[in-house]
Amino acid sequence: MTIDIDWANLGFDYMKLPYRFIAHFKDGKWNDGEITEDATLHLSESSPALHYGQQAFEGLKAYRTKNDEIQLFRPDQNAERLQKTARRLLMAEVPTDFFIHAAKAVVKANLEYVPPYASGGSLYLRPLLIGAGDIIGIQPAKEYIFTIFAMPVGNYFKGGLAPTKFIVSRDFDRAAPHGTGAAKVGGNYAASLLPGYNAHEAGYSDVIYLDPATHTKIEEVGSANFFGITKDHEFVTPLSPSILPSITKYSLLYLAEKRLGLKAIEGDVPIDDLDRFSEAGACGTAAVISPIGAIQNGADYHVFYSETEVGPITHQLYNELVGIQKGDVEAPEGWIYKVELD
Ligand code: PLP
Ligand code: COI
């Protein structure tokens, strides 16, 4: 390693790395794309991404193993989710092979920025798909840009595997009942900026959103999905058409059942029934597993396992998930994609 980075203290901040991948869709097809040093996008002032939010993004990570191999965690799932988002917004789809080829190319080009195994960091990849070109009416673009850039990251929430407090939003929803909540589009995040800002100002890590139709059930966190562990050891996570289908959440549902022997359930999580949980957490690519120490729900301040200690099942899930991601624990078939380094 020749670069000067404080690997152990990385947060979640943009860093302009030397290389990124970029491809263009025009006349009904993608070009081959290329690795470029140009970190600036060049696009028409009328691009539908800028005016009407016709854009989508993804997030996935590359990890350095103990043996200095580099591996991606379930990139095929990110590719498929981006395709689903693209269909919702009438965008050109990025084929899975092309997506994975681009992700590997970016990792390979920026290899020295993949944090060391022992640092606890990883290389976060940010795929971005945007509608471009000279269109001003409200209609889908005919041209698209697909890019993936990267940066080394550490913890998303303060402390990483340490409980923090979250607050329920009742004044604002992030998504409408039949809107774009299940798609990874920037508009959902634009809608979450104000409640997220208010939550941070008040000392909370993030917002817990309720189902937009009835405001009675937990949907998800602004940047991650929610899970709870019941007192009789069930792993429970909300099922809703307006939350982002988290790849981490589906991985945990599998691991909870197959590796920890828990009953794993996707179902309703009434906000007025938090007493059933002994532990709770937020899960996602950036958030990994972030224990939820307490939830402020109106006047009610509900503490789960502890505000300072990580619950035992949350800890086991974390060890299993992160162990797989870093290559220390055997992965279920098809979860790990090695980046060929020759
Ligand atoms: N929910 C939201 C709103 C997110 O932004 C993310 C992050 O991607 C997640 C959930 C977690 O999804 P994943 O585990 O696929 O990263
Ligand atoms: C991710 O975990 O990849 C996310 O997209 C969450 C947030 C950083 C937007």
- Span 229-261, pLDDT tens digits: 999 999 999 999 999 999 999 999 999 999 999
3-state secondary structure of 82: helix
Do 141 and 188 belong together in one domain? Answer: no
Residue 24: pLDDT above 80? yes
Assess whether pLDDT exceeds 60 at residue 219.
yes
Ligand closest to CA 12:
2
Ligand 2 mutation pick, 73, 78, 223, 321, max ligand atoms within 8 A of CB: 223
Q: What CATH number is attached to the domain comprising 11?
A: 3.30.470.10
Q: Are 59 and 171 part of one and the same domain? A: no
Q: 246 CB less than 6 Å from ligand 1?
A: yes
CA distances to 155, 167, 193 from 200, in Å: 16, 10, 10
Q: Tell me: the pLDDT tens digits for 306-328?
A: 999 999 999 999 999 999 999 99
The residue whose C-alpha atom lies closest to atom 8 belonging to ligand 2 is 286
Is residue 248 lining ligand 1, measured as CB closer than 6 Å?
yes
Q: Is residue 187 part of a domain?
A: yes
Cα–Cα distance, 131 to 141 (Å, whole number): 5
**Do the domain assignments include residue 72?**
yes
Segment 276-280 shows an average pLDDT of 97
- CATH number of domain containing 179: 3.20.10.10
How far apart are alpha carbons 138 and 253 in whole angstroms?
A: 40
Q: 180 and 141: one domain?
A: no
Pocket test for ligand 2, best of 123, 247, 285 (most atoms within 8 A of CB): 285
Mutate to test the pocket of ligand 1, among 244, 252, 322 (most ligand atoms within 8 A of CB): 244
Range 79-88 average pLDDT: 98
Q: Which ligand is nearest to the CA of 14?
A: 2
In a domain, 336, yes or no: no
Please tell me the number of the ligand nearest to residue 191's CA: 1
Pair (321, 198) in one structural domain: yes
The pLDDT score that the predictor gives to residue 160 is 80
Distances from the Cα of 194 to the Cαs of 224, 226, 236, in angstroms? 17, 20, 28
Give me ligand 2 centre to Cα 57, in Å. 9
Q: Which residues are catalytic?
A: 184
Does the pLDDT at position 41 exceed 90?
A: yes
Whether the pLDDT of residue 1 is over 70: the answer is: no
179 in the same domain as 111: no
- Taking the C-alpha atoms of residue 8 and residue 11, their distance in angstroms, rounded to an integer, is 9
Q: Kindly report the protein residue whose alpha carbon is nearest to atom 3 of ligand 1.
A: 223
Domain presence at residue 216: yes
Residue 2 lies in a domain: no
- The 3-state DSSP composition of the chain as helix, strand, coil percent (nearest 5) reads 25, 30, 45
Across the range 283-292, mean pLDDT stands at 97
Question: Parallel, antiparallel, or unpaired for β 70-73 and 55-57?
Answer: unpaired
Q: Please report whether residue 43 resides in a domain.
A: yes
- 186 CB within 6 A, ligand 2: no
Domain end: 125, 153, 181, which one? 153
Dump pLDDT digits (tens) for 163-212: 999 999 999 999 999 999 999 999 999 999 999 999 999 999 999 999 99
In a domain, 340, yes or no: no
Residue nearest to atom 7 of ligand 2 (CA): 223
Q: Are residues 84 and 52 in the same domain?
A: yes
Spacing, Cα 226 to ligand 1 middle (Å): 10
Residue range of the domain that includes 55: 7-153
For residue 187, what are its two tokens?
Answer: 């508009």
Nearest CA to ligand 2 atom 5: 59
Q: Is 285 in the pocket of ligand 1 (CB under 6 A)?
A: yes
Across the chain, mean pLDDT equals 97
Which of ligand 1's atoms lies nearest the C-alpha of 222? 3
Whether residue 325 contacts residue 48, with contact meaning beta carbons closer than 8 Å, is answered with: no
What confidence tier does 227 reach under pLDDT thresholds 50, 70, 90?
A: very high
Looking at the structure, tell me whether residues 237 and 294 fall in a common domain: yes
Assessment of whether the complete model's pTM goes beyond 0.85: yes
13 and 56 part of one domain: yes
- Where b means 16+ CB within 10 Å and e means fewer, 31-42 reads eebebeeeeeee
Q: Is the CB of 244 under 6 A from ligand 1?
A: yes
- Segments in the chain forming alpha helices (H): 48-52, 75-88, 96-109, 186-201, 247-258, 312-325
Residue nearest to atom 6 of ligand 2 (CA): 223
Looking at the structure, tell me whether residues 138 and 189 fall in a common domain. Answer: no
Residue 19 binned pLDDT confidence (cut-offs 50, 70, 90): very high
pLDDT in the model for residue 158: 82
Distance from Cα 286 to the centre of ligand 1, integer Å: 8
Is residue 333 included in any domain, yes or no? no
Q: Are residues 143 and 175 in the same domain?
A: no
Query: Residue 215 CB: number of other CB atoms within 10 A?
Result: 14
Å from CA of 130 to ligand 1 middle: 19
Given a cut of 70, is residue 288 above it in pLDDT? yes
pLDDT value at position 3?
86
> What single letter denotes the amino acid at residue 199?
A
Is residue 138 located within the same domain as residue 236? no
Question: Over the stretch 91-147, which tens digit does the pLDDT of each residue have?
Answer: 999 999 999 999 999 999 999 999 999 999 999 999 999 999 999 999 999 999 999
Same-domain pairing of 37 and 137: yes
Domain count within the chain: 2
